[in-house]
């Protein structure tokens, strides 16, 4: 059967997975009465809850006598390690752009990877039926983006479709019939070249592993595109690392291929197809699986280096071990090493004491997803504030800088620009109207300046602003950037919080906890209204007397506490603070729980 391999790339929430749902339905991949979940490729609970694609997933549909392998890629730059590997498997890309928002930072990031590989994109302007859609403006911005990314003449001569993934239609004209997805299928077959494998079918078998996963029955499985040759189950292969050294030799126990949403066994894998192999014990992502006579590995795409580091440690608070089952450093290390094995964008190293581990990655979202997964698996952890990783080149210290794109109401542009370009050392690149009373601001800001900024940004814009960021490059070190300005309220007692005490503390700042919650000495229970930290007693109850007076026994009405999300908590803490993560709670605490030790450390730090 004739083959086409394509990837669908887009910014977060521009409709990739919904579009794939429609392609599967209209190609006949589902039975008429088959029950299929919405966003079928978002397989994990975390992906469904957050509405984002975290792991790349493949599927296939048949259109006429052509099989189309479709890969749904992550839209966020923090998962760029997935994007870079996946694009090496395909021969074309469908670039999905929201007709109202236009190309966003993550769109630019993923598109730059596709253009660098020489892929010729198909541009689909999605959600053109939205009231705020401006497809002509979005199309002009896409063309400008391609020019800015150095696209060649063939890539600039891209075909265009207007679509609504939710409505289930795509047309070559904006005022087309809006009936089905036939126009997109036809364009994929006409525009995307078939894999160039005619001369490779008789060559020795070679395949570059791009994704790693585990199956409860098959064990370790690797997915990739067959570059050359044929393979049958039961044959023996070897794995070569990126440096050409032999990793292992193994017998292929099973070959699986994507057929609709199912992973089905096939008898033989041929050059050009995307398949999954099982039977290996050590081979991992970016290794070349090949016949025994092959000596040269397939070149793997270079992965952008990590830009931030977070320390994962054991939870040593007084509440440790009450809510999670996995608390030992040995178990935490095994889980992190397993993650680093399948995720090439993450690096794990031991700290000198051996009780904690430095995990370097691409961004706070990637770290947040890893921590949330571990939390749901029953782990208890203590997480440090993210630290930016620096480079030294030619005796000069370089730091990562990010391109920040902000859509904000016109009334709030002043505070946003002041915060970014003032203490956070950002540089304003562009500012233009975005329609509907909004302004789009583009700035280059050091990664250090963005840690902890999102909460301030939502406050400054009254929750109406949208901030997107993507790694831009490296720049000379910009000097000191101040951290969080507000101090915190620290519990000086251990026990259960009392409503009366919290009510009397509300004048001191906003609370992170409510009544009848466990607290301990050194735990952060709120944010102070001033810059200094303050020790408080959340256990202090009301004094009881025999004298009754009108109004003295009124019920206490507490202001609802500010519950920090996982990513918000990690970016909120200061260098001398930790986030305590358990399956049931997210707590903030001082690194040193003893008040005398905290004061001694503060004096030592000046």
pTM of the model: 0.72
37 pLDDT exceeds 50? no
The per-residue pLDDT for 512 is 92
Distance CA 341, CA 337 (A): 6
Report pLDDT digits (tens) over 513-532: 988 899 999 899 999 988 88
* pLDDT class of 537 with cuts at 50, 70, 90: very high
**Residue 291 contacts residue 246 (beta carbons within 8 Å):** no
140 pLDDT exceeds 70? yes
Beta bridge partners of 406: 441, 467
Q: Exposed, middle or buried by CB within 10 Å (0-12, 13-18, 19+), for 191?
A: middle
45 pLDDT exceeds 80? no
User: How large is the angle between the packed helices 182-191 and 16-26, nearest 10 degrees?
Assistant: 100
Q: Exposure string (b/e) for 198-228, b if CB count within 10 Å is 16 or more?
A: eebeeeebbbbbbbbeeeeebebbbbbbbbb
Mean pLDDT of the chain: 82
Give backbone dihedrals phi and psi of 56, rounded to 5 degrees, phi first: -70, 140
Strand positions, DSSP E, 140-244: 160-164, 169-171, 206-215, 219-228, 230-232, 236-240
Arithmetic mean of pLDDT, 554-571:
82
The per-residue pLDDT for 451 is 81
């Amino acid at each position: 059967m004739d083959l086409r391999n394509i990837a669908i790339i887009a910014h977060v929430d521009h409709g990739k997975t919904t579009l794939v749902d429609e392609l599967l339905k209209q190609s006949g991949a589902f039975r008429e009465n088959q029950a299929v979940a919405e966003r079928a490729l978002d397989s994990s609970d975390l992906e469904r809850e957050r509405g984002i694609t975290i792991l790349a997933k493949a599927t296939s549909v048949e259109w006429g006598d052509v099989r189309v392998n479709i890969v749904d890629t992550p839209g966020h730059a923090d998962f760029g390690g997935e994007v870079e590997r996946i694009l090496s498997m395909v021969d074309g890309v469908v670039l999905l752009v929201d007709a109202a928002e236009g190309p966003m930072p993550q769109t630019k990031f993923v598109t730059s990877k596709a253009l660098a590989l020489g892929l010729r994109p198909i541009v689909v302007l999605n959600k053109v039926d939205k009231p705020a859609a401006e497809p002509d403006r979005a199309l002009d911005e896409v063309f400008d983006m391609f020019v800015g990314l150095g696209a060649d003449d063939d890539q600039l001569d891209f075909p265009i479709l207007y679509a609504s993934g939710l409505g289930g239609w795509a047309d070559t004209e904006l005022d087309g019939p809006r009936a089905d997805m036939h126009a997109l299928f036809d364009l994929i077959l006409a525009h995307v070249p078939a894999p160039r494998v005619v001369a490779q079918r008789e060559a020795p078998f070679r395949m570059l592993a791009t994704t790693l996963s585990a199956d409860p029955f098959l064990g370790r499985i690797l997915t990739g595109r067959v570059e050359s040759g044929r393979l049958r189950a039961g044959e023996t292969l070897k794995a070569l690392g990126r440096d050409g050294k032999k990793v292992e030799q193994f017998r292929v126990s099973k070959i699986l291929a994507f057929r609709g949403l199912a992973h089905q066994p096939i008898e033989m894998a041929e050059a050009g197809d995307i398949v999954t192999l099982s039977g290996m014990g050590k081979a991992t992502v970016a290794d070349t699986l090949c016949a025994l006579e092959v000596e040269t590995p397939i070149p793997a795409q270079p992965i952008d280096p990590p830009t931030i580091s977070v320390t994962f440690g054991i939870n040593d608070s007084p509440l440790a071990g009450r809510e999670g089952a996995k608390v030992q450093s040995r178990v935490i290390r095994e889980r992190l090493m397993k993650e680093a094995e399948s995720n090439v964008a993450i690096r794990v190293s031991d700290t000198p004491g051996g009780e904690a581990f430095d995990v370097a990655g691409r961004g706070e979202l990637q770290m947040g997803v890893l921590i949330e997964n571990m939390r749901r698996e029953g782990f208890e952890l203590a997480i440090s504030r993210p630290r930016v990783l620096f480079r030294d080149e030619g005796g000069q210290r370089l730091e990562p800088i990010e391109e920040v794109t902000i859509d904000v109401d016109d009334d709030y542009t002043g505070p946003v620009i002041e915060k970014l370009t003032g203490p956070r050392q950002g540089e304003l690149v562009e500012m233009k109207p975005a329609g509907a009373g909004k302004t789009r601001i583009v700035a280059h800001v050091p990664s250090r300046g963005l840690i902890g900024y999102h909460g301030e940004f939502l406050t400054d814009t009254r929750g109406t602003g949208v901030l997107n960021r993507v790694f831009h490059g490296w720049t000379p070190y910009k000097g000191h950037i101040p951290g969080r300005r507000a101090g915190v309220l620290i519990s000086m007692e251990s026990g259960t919080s009392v409503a009366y005490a919290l009510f009397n503390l509300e004048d001191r700042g906003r609370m992170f906890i409510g009544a009848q919650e466990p607290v301990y000495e050194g735990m952060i229970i709120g944010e102070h209204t001033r810059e200094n930290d303050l020790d408080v007693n959340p256990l202090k109850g009301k004094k009881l007397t025999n004298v009754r007076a009108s109004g003295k026994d009124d019920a206490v009405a507490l202001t609802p506490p500010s519950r920090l999300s996982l990513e918000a908590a990690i970016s909120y803490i200061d260098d001398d603070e930790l986030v305590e993560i358990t399956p049931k709670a997210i707590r903030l605490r001082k690194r040193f729980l003893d008040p005398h030790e905290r004061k001694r450390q503060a004096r030592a730090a000046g």
